[in-house]
Structure 1
Amino acid sequence: MTTEILGVLLAGGLARRMGGGDKPMRTIGGRTILERVIARLEPQCDGLILNANGDPARFAAFGLPVIPDGVADFPGPLAGILAALDWAAANRPDVSLVLSAAGDCPFLPRDLVSRLHGALTSENAELAVAASDGQSHPVIGLWSVGLREQLRHALVVEDVRKIDRWTARYRLATVTWPVTPLDPFFNANTMDDIAEAERLAALDGG
């Protein structure tokens, strides 16, 4: 376990390309995507929380604190990350870093936290994000609780909505993962993706 790193699962998407509902509640190989994400991250983090808006009761079965966005009318992952940083500051003063992960990525790497934290330290960076196949995945990263007021200012005052616009202001470490036998950051956005995820789950050991 990596201590003092809290994990937040970003589950705020509306799954419009799947006809609505919560993407993380879709099932792959008999388990919900969210179950798979939790199983991957729980051993790597010192606690998990879930960022989602709307009725938190729909996630009650998972037994995680459900944290809504604290910035009104802001659809996007930066608002979820800020909500997690605020929650950590209020409830987990021992936590200095928060790992964010998309709630619709069922095959996250088992060394996600250790490699991101290692890069953050070795490169003397302020933030760290994951990458694969030549593409950065800024939703999946390590964030310093100490930057939360700067993030709030960027969101509320400057209307910064894209994660990479914000991360560009800081020393950023990018860690790349291989994509064989599968891309660990595959995310399920459409019903076709769900079918592909069923195939990938077999490669990933179910």
Structure 2
Amino acid sequence: MTIAALILAGGKATRFGGADKAFVPLHGRPLIAHVLDLLRPQVAPIAISANGDPARFIKFGLPVLPDAPDFSACGPLAGVAAGLAWAKRVNATFLLTMPVDTPFFPATLVADLSPGPSVAVYAGRQHHLVALWPVSFLPALEDFLHRDAKYKVRDALTLCLARPVHFTSSRDPFTNLNSPADLLPFG
């Protein structure tokens, strides 16, 4: 099993006033740097899912994958589809997806989620985008995105038969930092 990883950094960040969430500072460093610090010891290769000018990520030295035009209105599943296509090109069999606003995940995440397909669950809450997707799922995901107008990540995970992996700790390791107020406890 060969695993590649995709940092999902393409959200609109409306609760951050439209700021590029990947570059929102936490402890003086951008969120994406925190995510990379935890991912790099666990998995390679790594890519970034983001639209717009890819040059803003140049200092990270990673491929930047835009959404395919066919799926531009499909939310984060467009990023997952682009990531699966890239993972296939780099001969990976699974793709780990990680939202850029989730900088506190376990240093053992890849091992914990293996074997895939799988999805992280904490305290009964499924974290849909912290998942290990089989690269072979790409054609089924593309078909799903072409025919289903809802584009729910949960439904795509069900379709690929992702098993839930339950995590326990004193705090949610998949906490999303969605607004400036979410950063305050970690300041």
TM range (shorter): over 0.9
Q: Which residue of 1 aligns with 2:129?
A: 139
For residue 109 of structure 1, report the CA deviation from its aligned partner.
0.8
Give the 5 Å matches for 1:160-171: 160-171=150-161
Q: Does 1:80 align with 2:79?
A: yes
> What amino acid maps onto 1:50 in structure 2?
I
> What amino acid maps onto 1:196 in structure 2?
P
Conservation of the 8 A alpha-carbon contact between 2:50 and 2:67: yes
SS in 2 for 1:189: coil
Matches of 1:115 and 1:83, distance apart in 2: 24
Q: Which residue of 2 aligns with 1:15?
A: 13
Structure 2: unaligned runs, 5 residues or longer: none
Conservation of the 8 A alpha-carbon contact between 1:133 and 1:179: no
Q: Which residue of 2 aligns with 1:158?
A: 148
Describe the superposition over 1:157-190 as per-residue Cα deviations: whole angstroms up to 9, x where unpaired. 233411111222343211111241x321011101
Q: Could you tell me which of 77, 96, 115 is aligned with 2:93?
A: 96
Conservation of the 8 A alpha-carbon contact between 2:2 and 2:94: yes
> What amino acid maps onto 1:183 in structure 2?
D
Conservation of the 8 A alpha-carbon contact between 1:4 and 1:46: no
Describe the superposition over 1:66-90 as per-residue Cα deviations: whole angstroms up to 9, x where unpaired. 0001134324111101100111222
Q: Does 1:196 align with 2:165?
A: no
Matches of 1:177 and 1:54, distance apart in 2: 34
SS in 2 for 1:8: strand
Task: Call closer, same or farther: CA 1:116–1:8 in 2, change over 3 Å.
Answer: same
Matches of 1:178 and 1:162, distance apart in 2: 26
Q: Could you tell me which of 173, 177, 184 is aligned with 2:163?
A: 173
Q: Which residue of 2 aligns with 1:36?
A: 34
Task: Call closer, same or farther: CA 1:149–1:160 in 2, change over 3 Å.
Answer: farther
Give the 5 Å matches for 1:35-74: 35-70=33-68, 71-74=70-73
Q: Which residue of 2 aligns with 1:106?
A: 103
Q: Which residue of 2 aligns with 1:124?
A: none
Q: Cα RMSD between the aligned structures?
A: 1.4
TM-score, structure 1 normalization:
0.85
Describe the superposition over 1:133-164 as per-residue Cα deviations: whole angstroms up to 9, x where unpaired. 21000111000111100000000123341111
> What amino acid maps onto 1:97 in structure 2?
F
> What amino acid maps onto 1:74 in structure 2?
A
SS in 2 for 1:49: strand
Conservation of the 8 A alpha-carbon contact between 1:154 and 1:160: no
State the identity %.
35
* Matched pairs, number: 186
Conservation of the 8 A alpha-carbon contact between 1:5 and 1:99: yes
Runs of 4+ in 1 over 3 A off after TM superposition: none
Q: Which residue of 1 aligns with 2:2?
A: 4
